[in-house]
Chains A and B, each alone.
Chain A
Amino acid sequence: MLEISNSFLFQTMLKSAVFLGLSAGMLGVFISYQRRSIEINALSAGSFVGTLLLFLLSSLGLSISPYIFSQVDKHIYSFTGSILGILIMITILNILYKTNRLHPHIIQSLMTAVLLGVGITLVTSIRQAGGALDSGIDVYLFGETTSLTDEEFYFLRIITVTVIVLLLLFFRRLRVVIFNVDIAKTSHFHTMFYVHLINVFVVCLVALSVKLMGVFLAVSIFLIPAVTARLWSNRLFTITLLSGFFGGLGGGIGAVIAGNISHVSSGISITIVLSIMFFISLLIAPYKGLLGVWLRGRK
């Protein structure tokens, strides 16, 4: 039933899912130790609104080249909009954390839902103005692997190589930064550089993963491989490598499933594969697994 075909579209889809899983899985370990993994929900909602706003601008006729209003132009606009939306969202969230006595989690889940509401209002108003979004809202909500253009696919490859190289290069310093920023500040190196390095990777990868995985499930490819890897080992270096492996494997299997079955969008299949991997390793992992705990408790 499931087969890997040789067509160009299918190969691109498979490669993009594997690359995204690899890089997002490796980065997700660092984010989950910084306790920021829920923030990605809010960031992806921000990128949704940013995409729609820039899409509105482009349909008003503010084109980059005035003579050719092509499909490529629209894609550039929407991708720029998503990155701008994430950047604005990070600033708003940071202001809200500092000035409120509310817990950060409440701000994140509230802003996610609110920005989603703004986005839905924009979508329905765009639909009324003219059939700009014929492809349906499901593409935005749950993702489509074929939605990556050529430029974005090149961007994804560059980002993947950069993430792998830089995370392994700065591994020892990043380890200090993610566990305790205050201790890192007392050591003699530039702390904020490493914090912003992680932030830049987050911005780029969230903007790509919103297109592949959808608004709601964008967080799952960051979080689930990292948590799964944390069940298997206690060393950070092993966890990072394992998490990249799990993310790439889950992304690949999910993309194959989504390509072969018609009713399933890619975000849903990738998340299902990743969560099945999580539950299996929750059972059989050697030290922290339920089976091992139960056996050791019986003796």
Chain B
Amino acid sequence: MFSIEFEIVIVIILSAITCSIPGAFLVMRKNYYAADTTNRSAMLGIAVALIFSSYLSSPLVIILGSFTAGLAMILIKKLKDFTSFRAKGLSIIISSAFLCFGILIASNFSFNNATNFDLSIIYLGETAFTYFNRLRVFGVDIGSYALYAISLVLIINIVIIMIFYKEFKIDGVDKSYAASIEMKESTIDYLLLIMTSLSVSVSFQTAGIFMTSAFILGPAATALFYTKRLSTLAFVSVFISSIACLAGFGIAWPNEVSISGTIVSFIGILFIVSVLFSPEEGLLKKHFDNLTTQKRLEEYIIMDILNSEIIDCREKHINEELSSSLKWKLMKVSYIMNKLKAENKIEIVQDKVQLTEEGKSILNKFLSAQHCFH
């Protein structure tokens, strides 16, 4: 129907959007281990499903994969209540146990043993292979199977969020308030669990079970640098993931390297770039802010000294007086004095240095803002 590149790009972008929607809410609720656990423990279900069915794109794979992913998360929650361990440590143990049993089953007992089916498709993902599993209705080719499966899960995700948006928002921001209005926390937990495990088990073909956690967490973590509203967080993370998908596919397709690996490394590049250069919380912005606040503080200190007239304020040796009393260098003091003079904050009246009216009002405003001086 479409050209092969177009169909693959649509599958990639849809799966990235599907993963990034529950990711935004996971990051909001500070429930980070869910992303790692679900995609590793989905391996057991996929392996069991491969015993019964012969190919990866069958509904059994999605059902069993999401079932074992949910089972692992529920097991962690039950074990956390019984023992004193933290959830993250337990999640690593249980998810790696599920993963290992899955690989054992997949490499020894399942269908691929006879046909030498390459298991690294499950681990690392191969998006181009989704094109070859076509869906036929009455003998007519209507597109690849993965396209329809992914868009079905995307619709489920969107419907769940549309219905329960208010509950998600309240529960994500303030848990004690949510408990006080008798909202059940467990329903929100299970809804998120259903969304995450479904989208993981659908999109493991495009990204592989190990890199899906970057698809889930990466766009939301990047979007947190630009916005604080929940609704815009979801939209910005969708935007970021689709940008990464387009750029990664554009580089990977002509060079014939792994598509999923390139996309995930692009997500990482976007994260690092926004750590460094984001307009509100970037490292560079913080660095320059620190520099300017320090310089301003020095100006205010000198203005305060001139205002209180503790020292001899004659124009001739004002700089030497200030530098000896503050133990600053003479160059620094004279530079700041010249700057103040150029900004009309100080003036010279009868050989004495004084603050102008403008300078006094600025200084008073600054002092009243600092509560520690009162």
From residue A258, how far is it (CB to closest CB) to chain B in Å?
11
Please provide the chain B residues from 204 to 221 with a CB less than 8 Å away from any CB of chain A in the complex: 210-214, 217-218, 221
Residues of B within 8 A of A223 (CB): 89, 92-93
Q: A residues engaging B (CB < 8 A)? A: 32, 35, 37-38, 41, 96, 99-103, 105-107, 109-121, 123-125, 128, 137-138, 141-142, 216-217, 219-220, 223-224, 227, 230-231, 263-264, 268, 271-272, 275, 278-279, 282, 288, 290, 293
Residues of B within 8 A of A268 (CB): 100, 103-104
Check A111–B96 contact: CB distance below 8 A: no
From residue A131, how far is it (CB to closest CB) to chain B in Å?
15
Check B217–A106 contact: CB distance below 8 A: yes
Please provide the chain B residues from 70 to 125 with a CB less than 8 Å away from any CB of chain A in the complex: 79, 82-86, 88-90, 92-93, 96-97, 99-101, 103-104, 107-108, 119-120, 123-124
A227 to B252, CA, bound (A): 42
Check B275–A96 contact: CB distance below 8 A: yes
From residue A105, how far is it (CB to closest CB) to chain B in Å?
4
Given contact pairs A102-B224, A220-B96, A116 touches B264 in the complex (Cβ within 8 A): yes
Can you list 12 A-B pairs with a CB-CB distance of less than 8 A?
Answer: A41-B92, A99-B286, A103-B30, A110-B268, A117-B214, A118-B261, A216-B96, A220-B92, A263-B107, A268-B103, A272-B100, A290-B82
Interface residues of A, dominant DSSP: helix
Check B84–A264 contact: CB distance below 8 A: no
In the complex, B147 has a CB within 8 A of chain A: no
Check B257–A216 contact: CB distance below 8 A: no
- Besides A106-B32, A223-B93, 6 more A-B contacts (Cβ < 8 Å) are A112-B213, A114-B264, A116-B261, A117-B214, A227-B85, A275-B93
In the complex, B53 has a CB within 8 A of chain A: no
Q: Which residue of B lies closest to A285 (CB)?
A: B83
In the complex, B199 has a CB within 8 A of chain A: no
In the complex, B11 has a CB within 8 A of chain A: no
Check A264–B107 contact: CB distance below 8 A: yes
Given contact pairs A38-B88, A116-B211, A271-B96, A106 touches B221 in the complex (Cβ within 8 A): yes
A142 to B92, CA, bound (A): 16
A220 to B100, CA, bound (A): 11
Q: Which residue of B lies closest to A38 (CB)?
A: B88
From residue A51, how far is it (CB to closest CB) to chain B in Å?
16
Check B218–A121 contact: CB distance below 8 A: no
Which residue among A102, A114, A124, A223 has the maximum number of chain B CB atoms within 10 Å of its CB?
A: A114
Given contact pairs A223-B89, A290-B82, A217 touches B221 in the complex (Cβ within 8 A): no
A119 to B260, CA, bound (A): 11
Check B100–A275 contact: CB distance below 8 A: yes
A109 to B214, CA, bound (A): 8
Check A138–B120 contact: CB distance below 8 A: yes
Given contact pairs A117-B260, A293-B82, A102 touches B221 in the complex (Cβ within 8 A): yes
Check A110–B217 contact: CB distance below 8 A: yes
| 5 A-B pairs closest in CB distance | A117-B264, A114-B268, A113-B214, A120-B261, A275-B97
Check B260–A220 contact: CB distance below 8 A: no
User: A137 touches which one: B40, B120, B211, B255 (CB < 8 A)?
Assistant: B120
